[in-house]
Chain A
Amino acid sequence: MSVDKDIVKRVARLARIAVSDEEAEALKGELNTILGFVEQLNEVDVTGVEPMTSVVAVEMKKRTDVVTERDQAAKIVANAPVREEHFFVVPKVVE
């Protein structure tokens, strides 16, 4: 499978990365090189193989459903580039 410039632009849009036409052209070549490289996986017979999910057989850990840390709002917003009190500020999304 190979990608053309339109697909690169569409993927960039999905990945939320702005790319110029020039960048899309360069990325097209790089992505096709990588996709060509991974194509050799098609040689492998994976019939009946379960995908790997963990290194050693472990049961999913579950913790008790209780609040363990409270009153963290100031810390949570401490690194926000734009904030007001305990809110993250974003451009208007709803008219």
Chain B
Amino acid sequence: MSDLTTLTIAEIRDGLAAGRFSALELTQAYLAAMEAARELNAYVVETPDKALGMAAESDARIARGEARSLEGVPLGIKDLFCTEGVHAQAASRILDGFKPVYESTVTGNLWADGAVMLGKLNMDEFAMGSSNETSCYGPVVNPWRSAGSNAPMVPGGSSGGSATAVAARLCAGATGTDTGGSIRQPAAFTGTVGIKPTYGRCSRWGIIAFASSLDQAGPLSRTVRDAAIMLKSMASVDPKDTTSVDQPVPDYEASVGQSVKGLRIGVPREYRIDGMPPEIEALWERGKAWLADAGAEMVDISLPHTKYALPAYYIVAPAEASSNLARYDGVRYGLRVPGDDIVSMYENTRAAGFGKEVKRRVMIGTYVLSAGYYDAYYLRAQKVRALIKRDFETVFADGVDAILTPATPSAAFGVAEKAVASPIEMYLNDIFTVTVNMAGLPGIAVPAGLDDKGLPLALQLIGRPFDEEMLFRTGQVIEDAAGYFVPERWW
């Protein structure tokens, strides 16, 4: 029954309702697929007993006619989410052995809707990375390879395990988080759909914090419709997160398939960057043509502060990270390395527990927040951020409904290929996605084609605050035109 893993979430819902297979059979098919795919290193922990128990419960529910919206749907969960009694380490040694005593709001919402947990997914350490190579569990391998090559490719990051698991059929959908592009960039590298909702749409409660003013959870899935189904469950208004915004969650699936006739799609000229590969240009042109063919109007727009988003991000995110990660002190959870006194215990613990990229960012953050520098760095960056947001507000006020851009400046690159590069080169991966986090807007990456080496490429759509529906609506047009992209199995 291994072909059950090819079904989308929408097809699972229909198949279970019609009794064509059971939730248990479906979960067993996924557990077998996971076992056969361990070389991809997507899962850091598999939870087969929990999965089988939850699936049995789903079958009982279905038999009683009490199926919920995600009944029996097997999902993978990024290691950043607290899951009660189950490993949660943010792919960091510093959280060695940590088993949360509570459940994150987002995962709690998924289980309350009947979803089944298959395990925890690999990621960049503390979500800091764009290639999933900073994980303490080692890199995740992309199921996609360049034509004619066996060289392992990165799946992007930080939600690299999530992206690989969805693309390689190791879960029906996965949770991710996105601080600067960590859902959309790996989705783009693996031919999957990923949406970062508006800041405040999904509760951050129980998600291990990286940069609190930027972090948002969202789904990675195989289709636009599946992303809509998952986001409906993940999003909620949560009194436990003061930044959770008090707005009802719409039925996102209802917007899938709605006409885009007459919509105005902004095409920002600042996203045509120097040295952009011709393939990315061509992809963008195709995207415009698809939306225009469906009746939308393309509008040339300007977002003048675009180029400052990435440098502002590399002040705001490390500053907030240095503050958030101060809690890892070897006292309350995780690793402890002894020292001569309490300060050396802290220093030794953090030196051994954090990886290189995390240390680098904590150091940058500590520096820019240190005495005398706050105004010059953090405050200035937050002002620039206000200008980036204002750019978007201006075009939306002019009647633009959504903005179309490439999702990434390139396709996936090889594992270790950028190891000798400067940190900045890796950071440039997020050049098209990071503006969206800085402005707090929703953004979706939708697979749109393959490059000349056969690797997936994606387009990004950006919407108004809390207008995720517009992204599902326009994203579906891209998906209808581009089709689906499935890697050939070699593992």
Residues on A facing B (Cβ under 8 Å): 1, 3, 7-8, 11-19, 27, 30-31, 33-35, 37-44, 46, 49-56, 58, 60-61, 63, 75-82, 88, 90-93
List the B residue with the shortest CB-CB distance to A89. Answer: B331
Contact with A44, one of B198, B308, B336 (Cβ below 8 angstroms): B308
Which of chain B's residues have a CB closer than 8 A to the CB of A52?
382-383, 385-386, 389
Bound complex: CA A30 to CA B427 (Å): 13
Q: Provide the B415-440 mask, 1 if CB < 8 A to any CB of A, else 0.
A: 00000001110010000000000011
Contacting residues of chain B (286-323) with chain A, CB-CB under 8 angstroms: 305, 307-308, 311-312, 314-315, 322
The answer on a CB contact under 8 Å between A80 and B245 is no
Q: Tell me which of A3, A40, A54, A60 contacts B308 (CB under 8 A).
A: A40
Given the known inter-chain contacts A15-B322, A27-B363, A41-B312, please indicate yes or no for A79 contacting B351, CB distance below 8 A.
no
Whether B347 and A18, one on each chain, are in contact in the complex, defined by CB atoms closer than 8 angstroms, is yes
- Report if A81-B422 is in contact (Cβ < 8 Å); known contacts: A31-B367, A58-B245, A90-B345: no
Do the beta carbons of B333 and A81 come within 8 Å of each other? Answer: yes
Residues in B with CB closer than 8 Å to A33 are: 422-424
Give chain B interface residues in 346-383, CB to chain A under 8 Å.
Answer: 346-348, 350-351, 354, 359-360, 362-367, 370, 376-377, 379-383
A12 to B364 alpha-carbon distance, docked (Å): 10
Tell which of B334, B341, B360, B386 touches A27, judged by Cβ atoms closer than 8 Å: B360
* A-chain residues with CB within 8 Å of residue B387 when the two chains form the complex: 44, 46, 49
B125 smallest CB distance to A (angstroms) = 14
Contact count band on B: 35 or more
Given the interface pairs A55-B199, A56-B245, the reply to whether A91 lies near B383 with Cβ below 8 Å is: no
Query: Contacts A11-B363, A30-B360, A93-B342 known; A55 to B465 CB distance under 8 Å?
Result: yes
Please state if A79 and B465 are interface contacts (CB–CB under 8 Å).
no
Within 8 Å CB of A11, what residues of B? Answer: 363, 366-367, 370
- Select which of A7, A41, A46 is within 8 A of B311 by beta carbon: A41
Q: Does chain A have a CB within 8 A of B344?
A: yes
* Contact, CB under 8 Å: A82 / B336: yes
How many whole Å from B303's CB to the nearest CB in chain A? 14
Q: Are B98 and A51 in contact (CB under 8 A)?
A: no
- Whether B385 pairs with A51 at a CB distance below 8 angstroms is yes
B18 CB-CB contact with A under 8 Å: no
Q: Which residue of B lies closest to A56 (CB)?
A: B465
Is there an interface contact between B346 and A46, defined as CB atoms closer than 8 Å?
A: no
Contacting residues, chain A, for B97 (C-beta < 8 A): 79
A79, B99: Cβ atoms under 8 Å? yes
Whether A18 lies near B367 (C-beta < 8 A) is no
Evaluate contact between A79 and B98: CB separation under 8 angstroms. yes
The docked-state distance in angstroms from the alpha carbon of A63 to that of B339 is: 41
Does B262 sit within 8 A of A, measured CB to CB?
no
State the B residues within 8 Å of A (CB): 97-102, 198-200, 239, 242-243, 245-246, 305, 307-308, 311-312, 314-315, 322, 326, 329-336, 338-339, 341-348, 350-351, 354, 359-360, 362-367, 370, 376-377, 379-387, 389, 422-424, 427, 439-441, 465-466
The contact sample of 6 A-B pairs, CB cut-off 8 A, is A16-B329, A30-B360, A33-B422, A79-B101, A79-B333, A80-B332
Assess the A80–B331 pair: CB atoms within 8 A: yes
Report the bound CA distance from A42 to B380 in whole Å. 8
* Cβ contact within 8 Å between B332 and A79: yes
Asked if A81 and B334 sit within 8 Å, CB to CB, the answer is yes
CA distance A91 to B427 in the complex (A): 39
Please give the distance in Å from B320's CB to the nearest CB on chain A. 13
When A46-B384, A49-B386, A78-B101 are in contact, do A15 and B366 touch as well, CB less than 8 Å? yes
Neighbouring A residues of B440 by C-beta, 8 Å:
54-56
Contact of A60 among B242, B342, B427 (CB under 8 A): B242
- In the complex the two chains form, what is the Cα distance from A46 to B366 in whole Å? 23
User: Given A34-B314, A52-B386, A14–B423 Cβ distance below 8 Å?
Assistant: no
Pair A75/B101 contact, Cβ less than 8 Å: yes
* A15 & B363 in contact (Cβ 8 Å cutoff): yes
Determine whether the beta carbon of A80 is less than 8 Å from that of B333: yes
A19–B379 Cα distance when bound, in Å, is: 28
Do A34 and B330 contact each other (CB < 8 Å), given the known contacts A16-B343, A16-B350, A19-B351? Answer: no
CB distance from B44 to the nearest CB of A (A): 18
A52 and B383 CA atoms in complex are apart in Å by 6
- Are A41's CB and B363's CB within 8 A? no
Once the chains are docked, how many angstroms separate the CA of A20 from the CA of B440?
A: 39
Do A38 and B363 contact each other (CB < 8 Å), given the known contacts A44-B305, A56-B465? no
| Interface residue from A19, A38, A54 paired with B243 (Cβ < 8 Å) | A54
In the assembled complex, the Cα of A50 lies from the Cα of B380 at a distance in Å of 10
Cα distance A17–B423 when bound, in Å? 20
Q: How far is the CB of A18 from chain B (nearest CB, A)?
A: 4
B350 touches A17 (CB 8 A): yes
Does B383 contact A46, Cβ atoms closer than 8 Å?
Answer: yes
Q: A34-B423, A80-B332, A93-B342 are in contact. Are A18 and B381 (CB under 8 A)?
A: no
Q: Which residue of A lies closest to B376 (CB)?
A: A1
Q: Are B350 and A51 in contact (CB under 8 A)?
A: no
In the bound complex, CA of A7 to CA of B386 (Å)? 31
| B339 proximity list for chain A (CB < 8 A) | 91
Q: Please name all residues of chain A whose beta carbon is closer than 8 Å to the beta carbon of B322 when the two chains form the complex.
A: 15
Tell me if B239 and A61 are in contact (CB < 8 A).
yes
Task: Choose among B243, B354, B360 the residue that contacts A31 (Cβ–Cβ < 8 A).
Answer: B360
